Amino acid sequence: MKKLEESVKIGPVTAKNRIAVPPMVCFHWSDDSGRVTEKNVEHYRALAAGGPGLIIGEATCVTKRGRLHETQLGLWEDGQIEGWKKLAETVHAYNVPFFVQLHHSGVTGIDLEADCPSDYDKKVGPHGCRGHEMSLDRIKEIEDAFIQAALRAKKAGLDGVELHGCHSYLICQFLNRNVNRREDIYGQKEETFALEILQGIRKACGPDFAVGIRLAAFEPTLEDGIRHAKALQQDVDFMDISYGFNGESHPEAPEDFLYSAAFYGAQEIKKALPHMPIFGVDGIVNGEQARGVIETTGIDMVDVARGFLVNPDFAKDVLAGRDCGKCLHCKPACRWSPFLNDGVVNCPGRTLFLRNREKAE
C-alpha cells in the first residue's frame, strides 16, 4: 500500500512525499508585463516552506493574446526568465521540485476573437467569446510558443512543465470532440495538438526535464479521458487528472465513491496505465482524506490547492498529525478567486485557522 509520506519518482524528479501543490493563479500581483513580482516570490516561498513533495507553478501564458487575465504571469518572452529564476531558487531552497503549468486560454480568455480548433461560441462561464478555427500555420505557431516557453522554464532552472490540458483552455478544446469538429488530423486524432507540443518540448529540453499534462478524466466521457491518456502516455512523465471543458463534459463517480469525480477518473486512468505517475485533485481538506486517497485509489500524488491557501504549512502539519485548518468551500465566492478580488485576499478558512491556532498556543 502506498503511503502519503513516501517519496515518489516523477520522471527525472523525486518528490519527498505524495502531496503536491497544483497550479493556482494569483492575478493582480503582476501587471501587463506578465513578470514575476516579489509578492509571487513570497507566496511560493511560503508554499515551499510548508513541506509539499512538489509545487506546480500557476497557469503561465505562452503568448500575450492567449491570456486569461491582463495580469497573468507569462513565459512568452526572454525578459520573463529572470523572475522565474528567482522563483525556482526560492522553491529549491526548501528541497522541493518546481514545475510550471504552461497555458493558452483559446476561447476561454481575454481575446474576444480567439484561437480555437473550430469555430465555437463560448457561452458558459465568466468569459463568453467567439473562437475561430485555427489554420495549420497558426497551430504550428502556437505549438512553437509552448515549446519556447518550456525552454525558458528550463533556462530559469525549473525541473519540468505541465501542459494545461483541461478546464476549458486551448489544449482541452482540441481534446473535446464537442468543441473540436475539425476533419483534418487534429480532429481525427484529438490528441495530435498536445502530442506535437509534448514531443517538441522533449526534443528541445531533453530527458532530464519532466514533462506532463493536466488532463481531464471526462472529455467528454471517462472512456474518452482514458483513450486520451493512452494516446499521450509515451510522451509524458506524469498525468495530473482534473475536469474538462465546462458545459461540454460529464464528470461522474459511483455513489459510494468517497472522493470527487476527478479522483474517480484519476483512479480509473491509473488502472488503465499502471506504470504512469498519476495525480488527482478536488476537495481534500485534511490529512485523513489525503491519506485515504493515496492508500485506496492507487494514484501516486494527491493535489491540495485551497488547503494550501488556508494554511501554507498544510503538508508539514498533515504529516506531523497536527491540525491543518480547513477550506470552508466558499466557492464560488472563494476570496482567492482571481475574478473576485484585487489581489488582497481575506480567506475565512485561513482567518479561522489562525484564530484557532492562537487559542491553542
Ligand X SMILES: Cc1cc2nc3c(=O)[nH]c(=O)nc-3n(C[C@H](O)[C@H](O)[C@H](O)COP(=O)(O)O)c2cc1C
Residue type, 286: N
In the complex with ligand X, which residue's Cβ is closer, 182 or 253?
253
Residue 126: Cβ-neighbour burial (10 angstroms; 0-12, 13-18, 19+): exposed
With beta carbons less than 8 A apart as the criterion, state whether 75 and 152 touch: yes
In the complex with ligand X, which residue's Cβ is closer, 90 or 101?
101
With beta carbons less than 8 A apart as the criterion, state whether 270 and 292 touch: no
In the complex with ligand X, which residue's Cβ is closer, 142 or 281?
281
Segment holding 151, helix H or strand E: helix 136-155
Closest CA to 289 of 324, 316, 265: 324
Q: How far is the CB of 51 from ligand X (least distance, A)?
A: 16
In the complex with ligand X, which residue's Cβ is closer, 24 or 91?
24
Q: How far is the CB of 21 from ligand X (least distance, A)?
A: 9
Three-class SS state of 358: helix
Partners of 114 in the β-ladder = 131
Quote the DSSP letter at residue 74.
Answer: B
Q: List phi, psi (to 5°) of 213.
A: -145, 140
Catalytic, out of 169, 186, 243, 264: 169
Q: How far is the CB of 9 from ligand X (least distance, A)?
A: 22
Is 169 marked active-site?
Answer: yes
Q: How far is the CB of 136 from ligand X (least distance, A)?
A: 28
Grid coordinates in use for 310? 488556508
Name the residue with cell 504549512: 313
Q: How far is the CB of 123 from ligand X (least distance, A)?
A: 22
Q: How far is the CB of 265 from ligand X (least distance, A)?
A: 13
Grid coordinates in use for 95? 528541497
Q: How far is the CB of 294 from ligand X (least distance, A)?
A: 14
CA dist 190 and 118 (Å) reads 12
> Which residues would be at the binding site for ligand X (CB under 6 A)?
22-25, 58-59, 101, 164, 167, 214, 242, 281-284, 304-307, 334, 336-337
Three-class SS state of 163: strand
CA dist 105 and 31 (Å) reads 18
In the complex with ligand X, which residue's Cβ is closer, 16 or 164?
164
| Direct distance between the N- and C-terminal alpha carbons of the chain, in angstroms, rounded to an integer | 36
Residue type, 243: Y
With beta carbons less than 8 A apart as the criterion, state whether 228 and 29 touch: no
In the complex with ligand X, which residue's Cβ is closer, 41 or 133?
41
Grid coordinates in use for 306? 485551497
CA dist 128 and 121 (Å) reads 7
- Residues labelled catalytic: 169
